[in-house]
Amino acid sequence: MTPTTSTTLTELAVTMFSVTDQDAARDFYTGVLGFEVRGDDRFGEDGTDRWLEVAPPGSSARLALNPPMGGSAGGGAIGVESTDVLAEHARLAARGDVDLDPAPTRVPGAPLLFCVRDPDGNAIWVVEAPAG
């Protein structure tokens, strides 16, 4: 074992997904999942780059929606907690235009959950919030 060293890292704050179209991704996360836009800023030479962040209302963690950086869009995964997984699944299924699992599942040792995929194939796992 190596000795433990001190760190200045304090919190998991921003997760990043690669998306092909930042506007379409913003519309999916806000219009379909109900997230809020937390930041939408231009940077770089002549403002050609864009930093776009969304998050569920009340969340301190954010999701940055970025163009692919050296790869292709999609392939990421995050988990978001829900106070009512069954109701959230029913809400999304009723839309008829969302790529999601047919039903929530529960396996021994894991919470009730289901997966919804954004237009680029990033996976958003909707997970039952812990009791208490």
Structure tokens at 22: 């930042």
Any idea what DSSP says for residue 32? I
Q: What is the pLDDT of residues 6-26, one digit of tens each?
A: 887 788 899 999 999 999 999
Q: Is the pLDDT of residue 117 over 60?
A: yes
Q: Is the pLDDT of residue 1 over 60?
A: no
To the question of pTM greater than 0.85 for the whole model, the response is: yes
In CATH terms, the fold of domain 14-128 is: 2,3-Dihydroxybiphenyl 1,2-Dioxygenase; domain 1 (3.10.180)
Q: Write down the pLDDT at residue 70.
A: 81
Cβ atoms of 105 and 114 closer than 8 Å:
yes
Cβ atoms of 65 and 20 closer than 8 Å:
no
Q: Is the pLDDT of residue 121 over 90?
A: yes
Any idea what DSSP says for residue 105? B
Q: Write down the pLDDT at residue 2.
A: 59
Domain positions in the chain:
14-128
Q: What is the mean pLDDT of residues 116-129?
A: 96
